[in-house]
Amino acid sequence: MGKYESLARQIVENVGGKENIAVLNHCVTRLRFQLKDESKANDELIKNLDGVVTLVKSGGQYQVVIGNHVVEVFKDVCEVAGISSSETGGSDQEEVHMSFGAKVIDIVSGTFTPLLGVMCASGMIKGLVTLLSFYNILPATSGLYQLLYATGDAIFYLFPIVLGYTSAVKFKMSPFLGTVIGCSLVYPTLQGVDLNMFGQTINVTYTSTVLPILLTNFLASYLERTLKKVIPDVVKTFLVPMIVLLIAAPLGFIVIGPIANWLATVIGNAIMWVYALSPMAAGFIVGAFWQVLVIFGLHMGLVAVAIMQLVTGQGTPIFSLGLGASFAQTAVVFAIWMKTKNKKLKSIALPAWISGIFGVTEPAIYGVTLTRIPMFVISCVGAGLAGIWYGFTGLLQWTNAGLGVFAIPGFLKEGMDITQTIIYVVIGIAIAMISAFILAFVLFKDDVEDNKIVSPADGTLKPLDQVHDEVFSTGAMGKGVCLEPTSNTFKAPASGTLTTLFPTLHAFGITTNTGDEILVHIGLDTVNLNGKYFKALVKQGQKVKVGDSIVEVDLHAIQEAGYHIETPIIVTATDGHIENIQSGEVQSGKMIYEIKEG
């Protein structure tokens, strides 16, 4: 088990347990679950887990945003849940009910996501080798050039093979059976030659294709499941794959493949037709809305179309038009980091803008800009302006390279003016970053945080040093004030996250939106009551607003049991200091002290 075992166990527990997981995979920053029953998941607790950025539910998927270390968390979640990381599915075949559109997005995501890392790596190798050749550092006639270029190009040329594996996993069929079907489609002696069958001549090529293997494996998965039900166990191991191969491979090559190739051509031409109508308008739309699609995980639809274009050797405008999104987002967060005086925001923004440079923008989006909508809109505008430039220049991407700055090699191709291409790419990045930075720096204002802590109940305030408990009266636990409560419902003294709710319910802690930690300890030594006379009204981990009811108690019964009902309300952690401490009678919701910064 890895170092994220604790987080993995909490995630599995709060998605409803391993028995509620139908399918699990991951992308660059997210765990992507399909849950059998989403109502069993505890959304608020997952959102507030230490190590989770946020939660997104879209396209039939329950997406837990982790960040840059998602691969390690994924491995630990698989181990905790008893899921093979190569199968990424539950042990049964229970169907998850989704709309048709959600199913399409889910299939695309589940099939392409496992390949994106190695595809980006391969695309970067092709781009860098092309760059070295253009500047005569590595001649195209050298053996090393040919070897490295083949290394980068292999996955694209033999794409049906690797896609055969990932699609088989997604369709819940034998992965190696799906791989062999992919191999049969790209068998070298069958590519681009006349094959006479059934009185017809067929001439097709399936290297560097996407749809033929997807549709063929979709059929093969149903065929395999049917045969497993009717063929005796004693011969099932070899007879099922043999029959599947005999039916699916020829059918895929002769019937499904040609139709799929035609469909892929139609889709690609349609995209280019729309793009040709107004490249600059398309650039603004794709650039401006790219991050919105990413938030909901819906960008995978565009990614799939782009990949279909790339593997056939076509350039795609999709990735180029969206290139500015990560840089605009990074520039906005950098401006916020420079301008804010909020220490917590600064600590979040610093790693967010650094990771954003490399194309991983979820920390920036969910941690900084999405809760500040004008800043998010500015990042979209900056990306849209870059998209206009890329549309104007007609810039296309030729390989699926990395994210952020690592995407640049993907725009390089043999036979083109590489220097000019790099200049076009850099100008677009500059447009995105400069426009977004200036707008964000001018318009950003620190949130006016209300650092007033209010009384959680009606009662009478007295100095903390008068509490009948040395731990509190000496200030060892923190500074604050004591309340002699007269009302039985205790409410949140500040807005934030209910980070602590003791099992005995005698105390609760709130971490405010500015990072201060407030503890409300109801009575003295009341932990000994083991929750008797206490009733929780919320769950630990929930977001709460000032005045939300947290715990209901029976003060009279607690006193009858011989316990003091003195309630210390203290600040256990803060970067500031306490001022303006109140005394005397107080009503619930009225200020009892303030936390001042510095």
Give all domains of the chain, ordered by start, each with its CATH number. Answer: 5-98 (3.30.1360.60), 158-274 (no CATH), 278-443 (no CATH), 452-596 (2.70.70.10)
Distance CA 11, CA 287 (A): 33
Which residues are bridge partners to 594 per DSSP?
A: 452, 579
CB 240 within 8 A of CB 224: yes
Residues found in the chain: 598
Give pLDDT, residue 81: 85
Compute mean pLDDT per 10 residues along the chain, 598 residues long, and list them: 84 90 79 86 84 77 81 88 61 52 72 81 87 87 92 91 93 94 95 86 89 94 94 90 95 92 84 89 93 76 82 87 93 93 80 83 83 92 96 92 85 88 95 97 78 93 92 89 96 91 93 87 93 93 90 95 94 84 93 83
Distance CA 36, CA 170 (A): 16
Distance CA 426, CA 580 (A): 54
Give pLDDT, residue 28: 66
Which residues 6+ apart lie within 8 Å of 522 measured at CB? 485, 490, 506, 507, 534, 551, 553, 565, 567
Q: What is the set of active-site residues?
A: 27, 521
Give pLDDT, residue 84: 67
Distance CA 244, CA 247 (A): 5
- What is the 3-state secondary structure of 443-477? HCCCCCCCCEEECCCCEEEEEHHHCCCHHHHCCCC
